[in-house]
């Protein structure tokens, strides 16, 4: 295992070391100590390595991740796993606003609560939140799955496209064009897999499914150019 002291060696050295790892690297497990809320930790990784961050992080941790598994043993600041492409990001604590924003793929697991705008404009990422999520989550979400074991805040799924939203608890309000939808067997199957990947012991039957009513301007073919 490689241990990296962020306070002593600095952010650029850390990310350069992580970027230097090839697909067949032997340095497969990294531990980052003294993160102290720093920004942009383990951003832009593209190798099948495991990175354990021993503490809380600031803005944009694990952004643009490909292949790597990033595990934050603490809470994460705004924009964690933003624009993730593949791989896995796990947050033991809470995540601040716009966690998993614009993510194209991979899995983001938040074991605490997520703040506002979780999964905003998500494009294929799967996000599993053990706790609650804040307002305007999954705003303009295009594809992928958002699973919330707790409650959702105001305006969930506003202007949604094709993403699936599963919420176990209450939803404070639904955003424009977001509606509750029937939970069919295929959805329970998808949800069971997501819950297993997220390490949740919740049962798929306890959740409700929300999605797009497809009534907004963009869904009307007469408005196409």
Partner 1 sequence: MCGIVGLFLKDPSLEPRLGDMLTDMLITMTDRGPDSAGIAIYGDQTAGAAKLTVQSDTPDSDFATLEDDLRRAVTGTVSMTVADTHAVLTIPNDYVAATRGYLKNTCPGVRVMSHGETLEIYKEVGLPRDVAARFDLRGMSGTHGIGHTRMATESAVTTMGAHPFNTGSDQCLVHNGSLSNHNSLRRKLRRNGVHIETENDTEVGAAYLTWRMQNGATLGEALESSLNDLDGFFTFVVGTKDGFGVVRDPIACKPAVMAETESYVAFGSEYRALVNLPGIEVARVWEPEPATVYFWSYDTPPTAKAA
Which stretches of the chain bind partner 1, using CB under 8 A?
36-38, 56, 58-59, 75, 77-78, 93-94, 96-97, 115-116, 134-136
Residue 122 Cβ vs partner 1, minimum distance, rounded to whole Å: 19
> Residue 38 or residue 159: which is nearer to partner 1 going by CB?
38
Residue 64 Cβ vs partner 1, minimum distance, rounded to whole Å: 21
d(Cα 204, Cα 215) in Å, to the nearest integer?
28
Residue 104 Cβ vs partner 1, minimum distance, rounded to whole Å: 24
> Residue 18 or residue 114: which is nearer to partner 1 going by CB?
114
Residue 119 Cβ vs partner 1, minimum distance, rounded to whole Å: 16
> Residue 74 or residue 157: which is nearer to partner 1 going by CB?
74
Buried b (16+ CB within 10 A) or exposed e, 27-52: eeebbbeebeebbbbbbebbbbbebb
d(Cα 184, Cα 208) in Å, to the nearest integer?
10
> Residue 59 or residue 166: which is nearer to partner 1 going by CB?
59
d(Cα 154, Cα 171) in Å, to the nearest integer?
7
> Residue 30 or residue 139: which is nearer to partner 1 going by CB?
139
Residue 128 Cβ vs partner 1, minimum distance, rounded to whole Å: 20
d(Cα 25, Cα 19) in Å, to the nearest integer?
11
Q: How many CB atoms lie within 10 A of CB 184?
A: 10
Nearest to 216 by CA among 182, 179, 183: 179
């Amino acid at each position: 295992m490689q241990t990296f002291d962020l306070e002593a060696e600095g952010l650029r050295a850390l990310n350069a070391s992580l970027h230097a790892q090839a697909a067949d690297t032997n340095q497969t497990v990294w531990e980052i100590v003294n993160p102290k809320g720093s920004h942009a930790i383990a951003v832009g990784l593209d190798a099948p390595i495991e990175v354990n961050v021993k503490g809380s992080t600031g803005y944009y941790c694990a952004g643009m991740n490909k292949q790597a598994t990033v595990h934050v043993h603490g809470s994460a600041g705004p924009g964690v796993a933003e624009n993730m492409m593949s791989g896995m990001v796990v947050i033991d604590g809470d995540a601040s606003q716009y966690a998993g924003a614009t993510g194209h793929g991979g899995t983001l697991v938040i074991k605490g609560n997520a703040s506002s705008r979780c999964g905003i404009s998500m494009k294929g990422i799967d996000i599993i939140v053990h706790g609650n999520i804040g307002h305007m989550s999954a705003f303009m979400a295009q594809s992928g799955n958002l699973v919330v074991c707790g409650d959702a805040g105001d305006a969930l799924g506003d202007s949604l496209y094709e993403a699936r939203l599963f919420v176990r608890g209450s939803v404070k309000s639904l955003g424009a064009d977001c509606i509750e939808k029937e939970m069919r067997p295929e959805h329970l199957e998808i949800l069971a897999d997501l819950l297993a990947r997220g390490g949740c012991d919740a049962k798929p039957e306890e959740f409700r499914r929300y999605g797009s009513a497809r009534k907004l301007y963009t869904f009307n073919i007469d408005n196409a150019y």
